[in-house]
Amino acid sequence: MTSAPTPKRGEIWAANLGDPPRRHWVVVVSLDSRNANDRVDSVLVVPFGSYGTEGPNVLKFDPGESNLPQTSYLKGHFITTLAKSRLVELLPRPLSSARLRELCLAVRRAFDPDAPWPEKP
């Protein structure tokens, strides 16, 4: 039996999502204490999408920033729980800490009307 990977917060992984499973890129957002716990078999992730519009809970990533082949979008309202065993491939570069903080705020803005949102000029 193969053990599930131990992902870290901010890492970008290819994961098998859906039924039937389809390969999709995700960012791990759960705390490392949860991720490393061998009694917890899941992580919290936000999947990348290939389209979107930047807004309070949507972040745009250019290919050079994410290591993905095209412009991608992280939508905080799509946060989900995923079994660690569905993580199949780790990209070599995680999100920067600044972008991870932005993503966490995007997730918060998906359910908290009082979450800060810096309006762009």
Q: The domain spanning residue 98 has which CATH number?
A: 2.30.30.110
Report the number of distinct structural domains present in the chain: 1
Which range of residues forms the domain containing residue 105?
A: 12-109
Residue 85 located in a structural domain: yes
Confidence of residue 1 (pLDDT cuts 50, 70, 90): very low
User: Can you read off the two tokens belonging to residue 23?
Assistant: 């390969």
Instruction: From 25, 105, 102, 106, select the one nearest 66 (Cα to Cα).
Output: 25
User: Can you read off the two tokens belonging to residue 87?
Assistant: 């993580």
Query: What's the confidence (pLDDT) of residue 67?
Result: 85
User: Can you read off the two tokens belonging to residue 100?
Assistant: 């991870």
> How many angstroms separate the CA atoms of 12 and 90, rounded?
6
pLDDT digits (tens, 9 = 90+) for 33-54: 999 999 999 999 999 999 999 9
In the chain, the largest separation of any two C-alpha atoms, in whole Å, equals: 54
Confidence of residue 2 (pLDDT cuts 50, 70, 90): low
Residue 52 located in a structural domain: yes
- Residue by residue, DSSP assigns 53-115 as --BTTEEEE-HHHH-SSS-EEEEGGG-EEEEGGGEEEE-SS---HHHHHHHHHHHHHTT-TTS
**Among 13-22, 26-35, 65-74, 109-118, which stretch is predicted with the lowest mean pLDDT?**
109-118
Query: What's the confidence (pLDDT) of residue 120?
Result: 53
Query: What's the confidence (pLDDT) of residue 117?
Result: 78
pLDDT digits (tens, 9 = 90+) for 73-96: 999 999 999 999 999 999 999 999
Residue 7 located in a structural domain: no
